[in-house]
Amino acid sequence: MNKSLRNKYIVFACIIVGILVLDLVTKYVIDGMFKEGTGVSAIPGLFNIILVHNFGAAWGIFEGSQAMLIIMSLVFLGIFIWYFVIEKRKSWLLFITFAFLCAGCLGNLYDRIVFGYVRDFIQFAFWQSFPIFNFADVFLTFGVIMFIIYLLIPLFKKEKQIVDTTGKIVIEKMDNKKEDAEISDNDIQELKISNEQKSLENKENILNDIENNAEVVSETEKMEDSEESQKQTDKADKNKTANKSKKVTTSKMKNSKTQNKSKEKSKKVEKIQKNSKNSTKK
């Protein structure tokens, strides 16, 4: 048993003992001071003190049936104790309520068992037709009212929970809408920032592409220039080789011509020599 529950039981027992002492002591004092049917005005216009020996219940019902009233008191007391034991929600209201109920039942039960009647002495001065009662009846009545309130509290709590939950749902929806609006604004800002970043990145990429293309163009131009220069050098080499071959061929042709001329001259010389020989022979 935890400390809070132990404190509740201590308060429960103290309330029962206190009510019983108050009820029995006042009954004893009033029964000793007054005779039955006599009394005095305690608070003018509010309360009178008149001693009455009640052999029944309120308004004199079940008069002369003390055994049945004792059995009924014990049955109600047993029901109170049983409900108190099985009840899981042992709140302060439950402890105080059942302390009032048990103390009221025990106070009147003591009178019925010991005296065969209940000693009542409190009367409403402004409502004298109302049954005369005692402190046990007062606390018993308050206990019944508090027990009804105790039984109704869960119903109010459920309704409150429904209202709270619906209110929470509405509030959550409003908060969600606000959050969605904030999120949308944030998303718009993020999108703007991302778009700007993307545009900057695209610009950078375009500039990089332009630079790369320029480098490629320059390289290709260099390659083309180198190819053209190579072609020019190749042409020059070819021209040189062609000129050389032409020179060689021309020199060969000149040599062949000179050889032919020398041959012709030698032939002429031979003819002349032959002619000269022939002439000498003649």
Contact between residue 134 and residue 118 where contact means Cβ atoms under 8 Å apart: yes
Q: Across the chain, which distance is largest between two alpha carbons, in Å?
A: 225
Give Cβ neighbours of residue 140 (< 8 Å, ≥ 6 apart).
Answer: 100, 101, 103, 104, 105, 108
Catalytic residues: 120, 137
Q: What angle do CA 138, 24, 120 make, to 5 degrees?
A: 55
Residues 12, 1: Cα–Cα separation, whole Å: 15
Contact between residue 104 and residue 73 where contact means Cβ atoms under 8 Å apart: no
Nearest C-alpha neighbor of 15 from the set 112, 134, 141, 102: 102
Residues 188, 185: Cα–Cα separation, whole Å: 5
DSSP symbols for 9-40: HHHHHHHHHHHHHHHHHHHHHHHHHS-TT-EE
Residues 30, 33: Cα–Cα separation, whole Å: 5
Q: What are phi and psi of 90, to 5 degrees?
A: -90, 80
At 128, is the secondary structure helix, strand, or coil?
coil
Residue 139 CB burial class (10 angstroms; 0-12, 13-18, ≥19): buried
Q: What are phi and psi of 10, to 5 degrees?
A: -65, -45
